[in-house]
Structure 1
Amino acid sequence: MAFDGITIANIVHELNRNLLDGRINKIAQPETDELLLTIKTPGGQRRLSISASASLPLIYLTEGNKPSPMTAPNFCMLLRKHINNGRITKIWQPKLERIIHFEIEHLDELGDLCKKELIVEIMGKHSNIIFCNEDGTIIDSIKHVSSQISSVREVLPGRTYFIPDTMEKSDPLSVSFAEFQRVLTEKPMPLAKAVYTSFTGISPVVAEEICYLSGIDSALTPRELSEDLLTHLYRQFTLYFEEVTAGHFSPAIYYHGAEPKEFSALPLTHFSQYIRKEYDSISRLLEDYYAEKNTLTRIRQKSVDLRRVVQTALERNRKKYDLQAKQLRDTENREKFKVYGELIHTYGYNLEPGAKKLEALNYYTNEMITIPLDSTKTPQENALKYFEKYNKQKRTFEALTSLIEETRDDISYLESVSNALDIALSEDDLTQIKEELIESGYIRRKFTKKKVKITSKPFHYLSSDGYHIYVGKNNLQNEELTFHFASGNDWWFHAKGIPGSHVIVKTNGEELPDRTFEEAGKLAAYYSKNRGSEKIEIDYIEKKHVKKPKGGKPGFVVYYTNYSLMIDSDISQIKQLED
């Protein structure tokens, strides 16, 4: 979710509580498009990180520090000259734009009191940090924007600062019903899209939330709504933004399992299927959210080579399986050739020389059949030809039956590795998957004296009834959990017939309550290939009935009696423990 105007409003609210009347003590520019301000306030020293990065623009309070370059950039030197030791007298947001104004009071070279403005624009690739005089004249900016770059607005020293109104959006904080109705009904598009394209500061997620709170299908167009429905939508719209005006924010991150999906400054009730983690500070939320997002992005980037190995092997094995299946289908009629040979032996004695066919009674089915013959061969030679054909296809069938089973196992195994890559959360997880692929012969081990240290551990959950549940992240962990960690009376869970994790519930010799069975089933569903499906079939059985097949690949098991349950993959209410 990109920064929207509501998130900016939450940040402004927090900055006013923490930085107002504070003095700027230090100004650093650790990156070409980033500032780090250290501000002394009555409540102590605070650091404000501001990034105008095109890929990830951010502004938040932080406790962390960053090393600065040996020589400060020109923009940093300019700010130090003008506003070092300046007092922040006002922090505000125009309308609900993704812009924050810092009004700073300082003494000039003659000792006279004057004001400057530091304007932070969080606008994706157009983000900028602009330093202005009190009259709005631009002194300088962290990014210069000339007329060759933008035909809408130049951001250069000496130019007058203004907000380009290219989208002609309305202010959601002051819109009347008449204007609300007019701007929406002018747009022949789904309602949610009409909302976020008509008003400043609203993201697609917030537009969906407003429609959800109103009980109106967001896919309808505004013109399909009656005036009563539009009135109801407007009332819900204004109630939502009254919370913004009043500063009643409740920032939270929404997780899909361990992955942060969205964040918001106000509740997202239509995200009920996600785990909600609340924060008392939007700055702390942003720091955590982007740190976790960056970690996941880095893990996905680092797993690219492993995914390529797995995907290449999968494609090769699927092609092999299709070819073997086709060859196996070609052997389906082998019994027919055996019958032909037997019937020629039985009835061929009265055939005339040069006969091209034999019509005979098939004593297996009691039906008349016609058998093609080679007119240049004797009946005995024709019979021998059919027996040879039968024996060849029989040998092919027996060989292919074994080969196709091996190929099917290889595909299942590689799909389980692919699933393990999807749920990997750390470099240690990837290291263990790579080690597994090396042991299975898919990757050649590089000679090194340094032994690979693997510290990846299974996921650890606690059921609502206090039972410990463990989930393998990959096949090596699945093997370890099932055959070395679990006791005979512990319960074992797995998604039926699809790649997924082994889930072990430690019973401590007790009988498990139904709720724990359900929660373990949800975990098996969530950490399977079909994660997100409404209903997934889960097999569960006491661990003592789970066996390792001879010569089986890591994580492969067999069992002959089991219980089953149908469950969803919502694990939002199951507590995860940090080992």
Structure 2
Amino acid sequence: MAVDGILLHKMIPLLQADLPLRIQKIWNLSNTELLFQVHGKNAKKQLLISTHSLYNRIQFTNRKFSTPEEPISFVMLLRKYIEGSTIESIEQVGLDRWLIMNIRANNHLGDIVHYQFVIELMGKYANCILVSPEGKILDALKRIPPFANQVRTIQPGALFIPCEAQKKKNPFQDFQFDADKNLTTQFAGFSPLLSKEIEYRLDHGQHFSAIMQEIEMSNSLYFSNDHNPNHFHTIALNHLGTNKELSLEEGLDYLYKDLEEQDRIKQLVGDVMKFIQKERKHQERKLPRLQEEYQEALDCNRYRIYGDLLYAHQEEVEKGLNSISLRSYENNEIITIPLDPELDCKSNARKMFRLYNKRKKSQSYLQEQIQKTILERDYFLSLEEQLSYANVESARQIQEQLIKQGYLKRKNRKNQKKKKDRKLAIHSLVSKTGLGIRFGKNSFQNEEVTWHSPKSFTWLHAQDYHGAHVVIESESPDEETLRLAANIAAYFSSGRYSSSVPVSYCLIKELKKIPGAKPGMVQLGSYKTIYIDPNEEELNAYKLLN
């Protein structure tokens, strides 16, 4: 469920409490999300504005975000006009799902000007619009041309026309209602879910005014027992049963964190995932053909026998034949030799020796190609699995490394400044017994973790699965730390939903690089195995899944 008017009504006071807010930085997290770094009465905060069709909302958040290197054009415009300006007021229009930020800024001459930043949170029509002091649209996150909507055009230069107000009663002021009609049609700000909850409570003897007073006093978000992500509100959902209660801001972060992360990854690396899947399938189709050719090459000796027999029986072989049967000198068996009818006996014999030499020489080449294809297939399979549980930063690293390896081309942009290589983010923690643990979530982080650690440290990896390389900063770790590291290796692998996952562990000095292998691939020497059931709660305790 998207945020309704009542829930937005509860969010507005949380934003107003910190006014005025100075806008210090503006980013886009995706094509539908904006992040403002603001400084209010208390401290620096992050203001998240989402215009996603399902997750649209506005809130302060403490989450850490990875921002794109290249901002979208709308963000560039916002930086030009309102970065460094001050949000003086934030007002919801009635109980509708849109609000206005009144912003005081200085123009290029230093004069004070006032802009309106309109945020409309209306499902698939959600939008952000910057309006000039003259009431004209400077730009919008989602432009709507005249041919798409003749009544309300949203594009630069058009006159801003506010959303039409709902002609419904304010449920905080007017408690009279028609019991035979749906509450959604009578009161502003009501979603179907809230209407069902209030109707349920009315049927169980609670007064409408008491319910609205409870909503007004609530600062929490309640989630239903059915674990449906669309079932939440600012009062307990008695008609569904409530299993979780969080503060409003924490609740929204809890609800949308993983869903939005996957959306950002899809927007960021959707083409990359398609490329990886295409390459993996290409290698899978290529491998059987190479293996078949190799088996044919191993049978090259028969062409040498064909050639010898043809030279020995030149007088019997006439031009124009498609084949001939001759007796072998080695085992006295009859051998049928295919012939080219356009060639004479000697030319057919020479052709057989050429085939023999070609196939004999190709054996080593085909072996190399088979090994290379297997490595390529496994490499792209591992990248595909890594993207399935990657965060935005990890996904971006995969994309960047594919560009460096020449698999992908970097998009050319005019006046693009050369970016410094980002340092790989290596994940680390300290176990309860005081030992450090480091691990990677993609092939390139794995490479860094494994080969830039002392050889006396302990290394772990899930057997027969693509996944994280984990390093314990000790030669002989205690069992509790070993099991924690094994849990990390098992969970951040394609075996995370299996039980009793085998995890190999050894000292880093027992590892070897595979010649010609891709990043993150190693060969083990002497190692031991521990079996572990991936435990998400343990990793949550160390905040590894945030």
1-structure distance, mates of 2:192, 2:290:
66
* Partner secondary structure for residue 411 of structure 1: helix
C-alpha contact (below 8 Å) 2:463/2:502 kept by paired residues: yes
Cα gap change, 1:463 to 1:362, in 2 (>3 Å): farther
Q: Shift of residue 479 of structure 1? A: 1.5
Task: Map 1:279-318; keep pairs closer than 5 Å.
Answer: 281=247, 284-291=250-257, 293-318=259-284
In the alignment, which residue of structure 2 is the partner of 1:496? 463
In the alignment, which residue of structure 2 is the partner of 1:368? 333
- Indicate yes or no: 2:170 matched with 1:131: yes
In the alignment, which residue of structure 1 is the partner of 2:82? none
CA-based RMSD: 5.6
Q: Shift of residue 61 of structure 1? A: 11
Cα gap change, 1:71 to 1:287, in 2 (>3 Å): closer
2-structure distance, mates of 1:137, 1:568:
55
* 1:2-21 CA-partner distances (Å, limit 9, x unpaired): 69xxxx9xx9xxx9xxx9xx
- Indicate yes or no: 2:195 matched with 1:155: no
In the alignment, which residue of structure 1 is the partner of 2:443? 475
2-structure distance, mates of 1:417, 1:163:
42
C-alpha contact (below 8 Å) 2:304/2:356 kept by paired residues: yes
Cα gap change, 1:471 to 1:386, in 2 (>3 Å): same
* Partner secondary structure for residue 558 of structure 1: strand
Task: Map 1:526-537; keep pairs closer than 5 Å.
Answer: 526-537=491-502
Letter in 2 for 1:389: L
C-alpha contact (below 8 Å) 1:52/1:58 kept by paired residues: yes
Cα gap change, 1:265 to 1:489, in 2 (>3 Å): farther
* 1:220-268 CA-partner distances (Å, limit 9, x unpaired): xxxxxxxxxxxxxxxxxxxxxxx998xxxxxxxxxxxxxxxxxx9427x
2-structure distance, mates of 1:340, 1:310:
45
Cα gap change, 1:129 to 1:417, in 2 (>3 Å): farther
* 1:467-514 CA-partner distances (Å, limit 9, x unpaired): 3222112222212111112x222122223344322111211x43543x
* Partner secondary structure for residue 370 of structure 1: strand
In the alignment, which residue of structure 1 is the partner of 2:100? none
2-structure distance, mates of 1:336, 1:494:
46
Aligned with residue 266 of structure 1, among 243, 253, 262: 243
- Indicate yes or no: 2:537 matched with 1:538: no
Letter in 2 for 1:494: H
Cα gap change, 1:331 to 1:569, in 2 (>3 Å): farther
2-structure distance, mates of 1:409, 1:367:
45
Cα gap change, 1:517 to 1:337, in 2 (>3 Å): farther
C-alpha contact (below 8 Å) 1:318/1:411 kept by paired residues: yes
Cα gap change, 1:130 to 1:371, in 2 (>3 Å): farther
In the alignment, which residue of structure 1 is the partner of 2:537? 572
C-alpha contact (below 8 Å) 2:309/2:326 kept by paired residues: no
Task: Map 1:175-190; keep pairs closer than 5 Å.
Answer: none
2-structure distance, mates of 1:162, 1:302:
32
Cα gap change, 1:444 to 1:353, in 2 (>3 Å): closer
2-structure distance, mates of 1:328, 1:416:
26
Letter in 1 for 2:243: L
In the alignment, which residue of structure 1 is the partner of 2:376? 410
In the alignment, which residue of structure 2 is the partner of 1:230? none
1-structure distance, mates of 2:226, 2:306:
71
2-structure distance, mates of 1:69, 1:293:
32
C-alpha contact (below 8 Å) 1:361/1:367 kept by paired residues: yes
Q: Shift of residue 526 of structure 1? A: 1.8
* Partner secondary structure for residue 185 of structure 2: coil
TM-score by length of 2: 0.54
* 1:346-395 CA-partner distances (Å, limit 9, x unpaired): xx4598555954454574xx583433364977876655443322222223
* Partner secondary structure for residue 494 of structure 1: strand
In the alignment, which residue of structure 2 is the partner of 1:457? 425
Cα gap change, 1:426 to 1:561, in 2 (>3 Å): same
Cα gap change, 1:371 to 1:547, in 2 (>3 Å): same
In the alignment, which residue of structure 2 is the partner of 1:506? 473
In the alignment, which residue of structure 2 is the partner of 1:114? none
Instruction: Identify unmatched segments of 5+ residues in structure 2.
Output: 20-47, 64-85, 97-165, 205-222, 229-235
Cα gap change, 1:551 to 1:569, in 2 (>3 Å): same
Aligned with residue 433 of structure 1, among 385, 388, 398: 398
Cα gap change, 1:351 to 1:561, in 2 (>3 Å): farther
* Partner secondary structure for residue 542 of structure 2: strand
- Indicate yes or no: 2:51 matched with 1:55: no
Aligned with residue 452 of structure 2, among 484, 495, 520: 484
- After superposing the two structures, state which structure 1 stretch, 522-531 or 460-469, moved more: 460-469
2-structure distance, mates of 1:435, 1:373:
53
* Partner secondary structure for residue 170 of structure 2: strand
2-structure distance, mates of 1:499, 1:53:
33
2-structure distance, mates of 1:431, 1:303:
7
2-structure distance, mates of 1:164, 1:526:
36
2-structure distance, mates of 1:162, 1:286:
17
1-structure distance, mates of 2:465, 2:432:
27
In the alignment, which residue of structure 2 is the partner of 1:423? 389
In the alignment, which residue of structure 1 is the partner of 2:94? 75
Aligned with residue 442 of structure 1, among 382, 385, 407: 407
2-structure distance, mates of 1:163, 1:156:
12
2-structure distance, mates of 1:451, 1:569:
38
1-structure distance, mates of 2:463, 2:301:
35
Instruction: Identify unmatched segments of 5+ residues in structure 1.
Output: 28-48, 78-126, 139-150, 176-200, 207-242, 246-263, 268-278
Letter in 2 for 1:492: W
1-structure distance, mates of 2:18, 2:186:
25
Q: Shift of residue 165 of structure 1? A: 13
- Indicate yes or no: 2:524 matched with 1:559: yes
Aligned with residue 487 of structure 2, among 494, 508, 522: 522
Letter in 1 for 2:376: D
1-structure distance, mates of 2:167, 2:294:
65
Cα gap change, 1:359 to 1:567, in 2 (>3 Å): farther
2-structure distance, mates of 1:320, 1:576:
43
Letter in 1 for 2:446: N
C-alpha contact (below 8 Å) 2:462/2:501 kept by paired residues: yes
- Indicate yes or no: 2:336 matched with 1:336: no
Q: Shift of residue 543 of structure 1? A: 0.4
Q: Shift of residue 441 of structure 1? A: 0.8
C-alpha contact (below 8 Å) 2:327/2:333 kept by paired residues: yes
2-structure distance, mates of 1:471, 1:333:
47
C-alpha contact (below 8 Å) 2:459/2:508 kept by paired residues: yes
C-alpha contact (below 8 Å) 2:269/2:399 kept by paired residues: no
- After superposing the two structures, state which structure 1 stretch, 562-571 or 435-444, moved more: 562-571
Cα gap change, 1:460 to 1:152, in 2 (>3 Å): same
